[in-house]
Each structure stands twice: as C-alpha cells, then as structure tokens.
Amino acid sequence: MRTVLWREMLSVETAANMQATFIALRAASRGAPPRAAAAIHFSLLPYNVFLFAAVGRASPRSHVASMVSLFWLALITAVQV
C-alpha cells in the first residue's frame, strides 16, 4: 500500500497529471480542437480513480492513507475540472 500511495499516486501520477494538463493547454494554444485538448486533459482520470480504489482496498488498511488518497483524488479532480 505504501508503494501505491506514495510512489504511484503522490509522485508519479501527480507528475503525469501535470504533464497531461500542460500538453492539453499547449495543444489548445496551438489550435487543436477543444475536444482533443479535453480528451488529453481528462485521459488520466480513470487511472486516478483506480489508484484511489487500490489504496482503499489495500490489505493493511490505514485511515490516514485513505484520507490522504481521498484528499489527493479530490484535489486532482478539482484541478482537472
């Protein structure tokens, strides 16, 4: 669970979300169709929900880890909307 929470969710996926947002903004500024930019921007949302569910279903359940993952999902989703 620690690996999923700290490495995958908070490190790798946060960086990937920021990169997808940057690429979407760059595509939109270069004249890409709005649907394409939105598709790039929201492409990682299913994986974000998957990581949240993986932390919640981990065998040694931790209330702190669940709250951190919930806060992270809410923050990432709010930034994406």
What's the mean pLDDT in 25-32? 95
Q: Which domain holds residue 15?
A: 2-80
Q: Has residue 20 got a pLDDT over 90? A: yes
Question: If we measure between CA atoms, which residue out of 2, 16, 11, 5 comes closest to residue 46?
Answer: 16
Q: Please provide the average confidence, as pLDDT, over all residues in the chain.
A: 90
Q: Has residue 2 got a pLDDT over 80? A: no
- In this structure, what are the phi and psi dihedrals at residue 61, rounded to the nearest 5 degrees? -70, 135
Name the more confident of 17 and 1. Answer: 17
What CA–CA distance (Å, rounded) separates 4 from 33?
35
Q: Has residue 9 got a pLDDT over 80? A: yes
| Count of CA atoms in the C-beta half-sphere (13 A) of 13 | 25
What does R_g of the chain's alpha carbons equal in angstroms?
14
Q: Are 13 and 52 within 8 A, CB to CB? A: no
- pTM value is 0.82
Domain count, the chain: 1
